[in-house]
Amino acid sequence: MTLIDIDKVSVGLNRRPLKDHKVADLMRSIEANGLLNPITLDQNYLLIAGLHRLTACRLLGFTQIECKVVNCDRDQARLAEIDENLIRNELEALERSELWLERDQILGRMGLRARPGDNQFTRKKGGEIDSPPPKTTVELAEEIGYTERTFQQGKQIARDIAPEVKAALRGTSAAKSPQALLKIARAGSEERKLAEQSLKAAESNPAEAAHHEKIASAARAKQAELQFLALQAAEAERAAKSAKKAVRKVADSKTSTLEVQEGDTWMLKRHLIYCGKTDGEPYRDCLPSNAALAIVPPHVAWNHDYLVDEARVVAVLRSQGDILNFCRSQQMPFRFELLTSGMYLALFAHQSIVVPDHALSIEGIEGIVAYLISLYSKPGHFVLNPGLGNGEVLMACERMERICFAGDDCLDCVNRSIDRWQKWSGKQAEKTDLFA
């Protein structure tokens, strides 16, 4: 072990992001017990392993640090760093995939990666088998404790997701899910191939290079756009699947002290509820002019084509026996339909929209509502809900920080939904004459 000035240690640019809580834990441990595990440096004092330990020591004011110095080239140093990081359990799926791909590429540069089609005969050089022999994909996967299929899919994730999409992914729930990441990586695959082909054409034909590079740039931009949409859909699906876990079990109450009457409007902090029919002017007068989404539950009788001019996206849920009547009566610009959780979901909008995955599998109204809100709106956006039902849209908006403009001519539904919101939020609804 060697003791050196801490200022001599340099850190490469491709390090994993620091985790503040881990640095804080190490500071407490080092203060109490000293640095039990020295950092590792190469012969030029470039850090190989121990960024969190180094940072903790610097924050504690250390002027010197204990280290282990090893002689290695840049690839060997980075490989050692990657192998140390892969041992750790807190890696997100995206981080792990990027390390797998980089490790694979380094081994290839070092001649330690078998090429496709290699076998015991092709590995021979001058009649002797390489020592150590290049490693196959199966062997590399076994080294890190994963199947060959998982290893290949991980490299696809790291290779095919656009850099700007990766930046948006970090810290999201999708970054932890190999399944979600794989969907994102496969989005825009045709555009990615076109970009690669165009760049190869630019290299082989310098006279046409500018033309091919322009095609490649446009294809990469389209790929990123499609992957951003896939990320948005993945986050929405995860929000839907966790909706039931997030919903508190608040029993329906028949003892509400509210005196709800036809024509009333009620303010629930930032949400508004109108007591009356939602296909007439009084409810429409309550609505904001720039709603992101309207969600119409199954029980609402259809006379609501106006919604497509009030919200960017209109999502209509119908029960099985009411699909035909709805399709005959509505005249909105259709975009997409889907059967999920025993419900028919139809989407309408004047412009193109992100469409859900055809294989979408979500359980219950709560899940469908959370999915739609996550996919088509952001925190602070307005969501219209003509037809309260049991308050599914209202409660989802409260949990997901949207603003709900709801209405229902069923006073029991209004009473029940307001009571449910009051129990959840701990706040009191207030009657208002703002829209009278």
Sequence ranges of the chain with CATH classification 3.90.1530.10: 1-88
Per-residue pLDDT of 347-363, as tens digits, reads: 999 998 888 766 667 77
% of the chain at pLDDT higher than 70: 88
Model confidence band, residue 91 (pLDDT cutoffs 50, 70, 90): confident
Q: What pLDDT does 346 receive? A: 94
pLDDT of amino acid 433: 73
CB of 58 within 8 A of CB of 27?
no
Angstrom CA distances, 38 to 4, 64, 65, 435, stand at 11, 12, 8, 69
- Over 60: is that where the pLDDT of 313 sits? yes
Specify the CATH number for 265-432; select among 3.40.50.150, 1.25.40.20, 3.30.230.10, 3.90.700.10. 3.40.50.150
Q: What gap in Å lies between CA 79 and CA 327, rounded to an integer?
A: 60
As its CATH architecture, domain 1-88 has Alpha-Beta Complex (3.90)
Structure confidence by residue, pLDDT tens digits, 1-24: 789 999 999 887 666 667 788 899
**In whole numbers, what is the pLDDT of the chain averaged over residues?**
86
Task: Specify whether the CB–CB gap between 369 and 340 falls below 8 A.
Answer: no
C-alpha distances (whole Å) from 379 to each of 173, 238, 403 are 17, 16, 8
Angle at Cα 229 formed by Cα 388 and Cα 348, nearest 5°?
A: 40
pLDDT surpasses 90 at 306 = yes
Question: Using one digit for the tens of pLDDT, what is the confidence trace for 243-285?
Answer: 655 554 444 444 455 788 898 999 999 999 999 999 989 999 8
> CATH 3.40.50.150 occupies which residues in the chain?
265-432
Q: Where are the beta strands (DSSP E) in 75-178?
A: 124-125, 128-129
* pLDDT recorded at residue 249: 45
Per-residue pLDDT tens digits for 105-130 = 998 888 888 876 555 445 555 544 44
What residues contact residue 76 under an 8 Å CB cut-off, 6+ apart?
Answer: 110
Q: Residue 395 has what pLDDT? A: 94
